[in-house]
Structure 1
Amino acid sequence: MKNKKTQIIAEIAQGFEGNPIYSQLFVKAAASAGADAVKFQLVYTDELATPDYKYYDLFKSLEMSDEVWQNISNLANENNISLHLDIFGERSLKLAEKLGVEAVKIHGTDIANKRLLNKVSQTKIKQVILGAGGALQSEIIEALEILKNKEIILLFGFQSYPTPNRDNHINRIQLAKDIFSKSYPSIKIGFADHASPETNIHLGFGAMAIGLGAEVLEKHLTLAKSMKMEDHESALNPDEFMDYVNFIHECESAFGDVTLQDDFGMSESELGYRKMIRRHVVTIDAVSQGEVFSSDNLALKRTSSTQAQSDMSEVIGKMASKSISSNSPVEF
């Protein structure tokens, strides 16, 4: 198993509040913090709700012109960070494809929206993040079947402002790998963390997720928690997000490069440790020249010898080439 590099997405969601300046600052903050991608919700209100819906006006305030989104895309390219967009209908999908984004996200609200899923499958967009928070297994399977021509990131986790720790069900990551990777071998499993930022529990959740097989992590980013911007409830400030990125990559470095060799592909330091702790074969009683070594006259102890045998099986049954005093290393 080769060392993997977890993809970390800085989730802005609605935090940009329809403000082009905020949006640009988010791109720069995400890139500076070491995120691999920055993700916004590309909102056109009438794709999401009817005018009588209670948050219709909020959605309306998030709309920005195509020119603004193009500027955001250009800025992401300049800062070497991928731009991902949540899309909610054909208009936002069309713009996302025009902008050449690497990935679009199908929000959990559209997991069963077959019309939209089919439209996404027909685009040139390479990667689809499939939001699985609140989704049934049967709905996921149907969506995966429609999107089987795409690279899929199946993303678990949901926003509950913030999500209670016990409700994350992180074990679902391992279960999903077992269930879906057989039919969709290229699928990646991800986890969207919405833990309270008031403690460091999000660090533990991220480590747990990659330990269970997650290859993508999504975490909310805000410009400043004190501003109480949209979706700030589970978000990190830019400096905290940088710490999060560094922590996750330090954790994944501990996976190591495991092989099927007898030593599992031990590192040089572990091989050195093995050499240091190995006991040497020593005599229990004095052994005469020509005497055959057996388990009755040998033991394992640490010695100062640099030539002593350490493998008992290599010694038993052989003949002593010289006399050896008791409690002495066997060297040959």
Structure 2
Amino acid sequence: MSDLFSKLQPNNGYVIAEIACGHEGDPTKLKKLIDCVVDSECQIIKFQIFKTFERAIKGHKEWDIFSKLELSDNDWKKYIAYAKNKGLSVFADLYGHDSFSLAKKLNIDGYKIHSEDLLNTQFILEVCKSKKIVMIGVGGARRKEIIEIVNKIISHAPHSKIVLMTGVQAFPTPIDAHSINEVSDLISKYEKYNVKVGFSDHVDGDLKEAFILPIMAFSAGAGVIQKHITLNRKDKWIDYHSALSFNDFKVFIQQIKLLCGLLHNIGSMNDYEKSYRKMFKKSPAFSNNFDKDHVLQNKDIVYVKDAENSIPVASHTLIGKKINTSVSKNQLIKLNTLSPKIGAVIVARCASLRLPNKALIKINGRES
């Protein structure tokens, strides 16, 4: 997907289908989830690519958990190629140099650095120099830490494609632990550096707010939303807590496409607005019979509905105008019933380099 970074605008409604560890270390489940994302017409999918030693210490319970979820390099090669062949852009969470090295070999389209590595400056700079989109998790980060890493990136990896991702994961995260204002606040601070802001939604997938919060984030200016997906929440696969079941996810994507289109820049009137204007706008009419040369006053003008005509003229532009023919009560005031006041606009070029303001210079002491 060419120049995806520039397209990350609220009105485009880009959603990242977050797989996380929802495959449970099973390539067959991974393929099913990829197919679900393709069928939903979501455009971006994200995986967590990691080596167990990057996420846990041997002998601790986390080691037992992540070692069962780790997929082989060959599995990742096979199914990332599968996702790309299906037309998806593929992003990956990185947890260290080994996962980054693998992701580069697999030609991943974009990366995400977990907020646990926000202080790992050298690693972040290394990833940013890839010139790919880099999403940086800022959940639980202090503002000082965010500005410091952004300044480092600007200084040492200019032209990086950075997206600051808000949100924390609490399996699931309570609604009041999300912040929509954080999105707009970060945009106001970092947009000038060409840094975009995204929203990581981790609300309970059974709640109606799982549909509402992301739309609120887009309305606040988020350029991209991260949303977890699972095959069926009732199966309780790993990381299902904030995930939508496939059928709900598909409806969610349809809603995003429909509603985010309303966030486009204001332009000319659409056909519905033009029709509405023609149907409901009142037109000016004469409040009484008047003879030719009568000068209109405020009391001479009323506004009426007319089934055939819609004359968009404001009353203040009519006051003081002279009528050029006899008119009847309730007759629509059209411009051809008024004596026009003719004026002229003189345009003069004053930006000459050889003779600045030459149009204003007097000739023989007289205004020219």
Q: Is the 8 A contact 1:278 1:302 kept in 2?
A: yes
CA pair 118-280 structure 1, distance change in 2 beyond 3 A: closer
Give the distance between the partners of 1:118 and 1:308, measured in 2 at CA.
62
Partner of 1:293: 296
- How many pairs does the alignment contain? 323
SS of the counterpart of 2:292?
A: coil
Is it true that 1:230 corresponds to 2:242 in the alignment?
A: no
Q: What code does the residue aligned with 1:302 have? A: K
Moved more, 310-319 or 291-300: 310-319
User: Contact between 2:139 and 2:166, CA under 8 Å: does it hold in 1?
Assistant: yes
1:251 counterpart letter in structure 2: L
Identify the residue that residue 78 of structure 2 maps to in structure 1. 71
Distance 2:101 2:124 in 1: 13
Residue 209 of structure 1 pairs with residue 212 of structure 2: no
After TM superposition, the structure 1 stretch with the greater mean CA deviation from structure 2, 189-198 or 46-55, is 46-55
Structure 1 pair 290–198 and aligned structure 2 pair: CA distance change class (3 A):
same
Q: Deviations over 1:221-274 (max 9, x none)?
A: 011112111110111111111111111111111123314xxxxx2223212322
CA displacement, residues 180-226 of structure 1 (integer Å, 9 cap, x when unaligned): 112x22x2111011111222212210111010000100100011112
More helix by share: 2
- Is the 8 Å Cα contact of residues 37 and 83 (structure 1) preserved in structure 2? yes
* Contact 2:201-2:214 within 8 A present in 1 as well: yes
1:176 to 186, 192, 205: 186
Higher relative contact order by CA 8 Å / sep ≥ 6: 1 or 2?
1
How far is the alpha carbon of 1:309 from its aligned partner? 6.3
Identity rate, percent = 29
Deviation at 1:132, TM superposition (A): 1.2
* 2:10/2:221 contact within 8 Å kept: no
Equivalence for 1:192? 200
Which one-letter code corresponds to 1:104 in the other structure? Y
The answer to whether the 8 Å contact 1:305/1:329 transfers is: no
Distance 1:317 1:72, change over 3 A: same
When structure 1 is superposed on structure 2, of 208-217 and 312-321 the one drifting more is 312-321
* Separation (CA, whole Å) in 2 of partners of 1:125 and 1:97: 11
**Cα shift at 1:153:** 1.3
Please point out which of 32, 46, 70 is paired with 2:53. 46
The alignment yields a C-alpha RMSD, in angstroms, of 1.9
**1:144 lines up with 2:150 in the alignment:** yes
CA contact (8 A) 1:103 1:125 kept: no
Q: Secondary structure at the match of 1:174?
A: helix
Q: 1:125 Cα deviation (Å)?
A: 5.0
**Quick check: 44-53 or 69-78, which moved more?**
44-53
For 2:10 and 2:61, the matched residues in 1 are separated by 47
2:282 and 2:311 in contact (8 A); partners too: no
Q: Which amino acid aligns with 1:174?
A: S
Corresponding residue SS for 2:12:
coil
TM-score (norm: length of structure 1)? 0.91
Aligned pair partner of 1:24 in 17, 24, 31: 31
Moved more, 113-122 or 48-57: 113-122
Distance, in Å, in 2 between the alignment partners of 1:38 and 1:32 is 12
Query: 1:131 maps to which residue?
Result: 137
Tell me, what secondary structure is at the counterpart of 1:4? helix
Q: Note the C-alpha offset of 1:307.
A: 7.1
Comparing 299-308 and 66-75, the one that deviates more: 299-308
Q: For 2:23, what is the secondary structure of its paired residue? A: coil
**8 Å Cα contact 1:43-1:62 kept in structure 2:** no
CA distance in 1, matches of 2:57, 2:44: 31
Q: Structure 1 pair 286/83, CA: closer, same or farther in 2 (3 Å)?
A: same
> Which runs of structure 1 show a deviation greater than 6 angstroms over 4 or more consecutive aligned residues?
none
1:213 alignment partner, SS class:
coil
CA distance in structure 2 between the aligned counterparts of 1:92 and 1:226, rounded to whole angstroms: 31
Following the alignment from structure 2 to structure 1, what is the Cα–Cα distance between the partners of residues 310 and 33? 62
Letter of the structure 2 residue corresponding to residue 142 of structure 1? E
- Partner deviation per Cα, 1:15-66 (whole Å, 9 max, x = no partner): 1111111111111111111222111111211112211332111111111211
Please give the TM-score of this superposition, normalised by the length of structure 2: 0.83
Q: Give unmatched runs, 5+ long, in structure 2.
A: 1-8, 337-368
Distance change (3 Å), C-alpha of 1:203 and 1:311 = same
**Cα 1:256–1:50, aligned 2, differ >3 Å: closer, same or farther?**
closer
- Go from structure 1 to structure 2 and tell me whether the alpha carbon gap of 1:91 and 1:125 turns closer, same or farther (over 3 Å shift): farther
What secondary structure does 1:281 align onto? strand
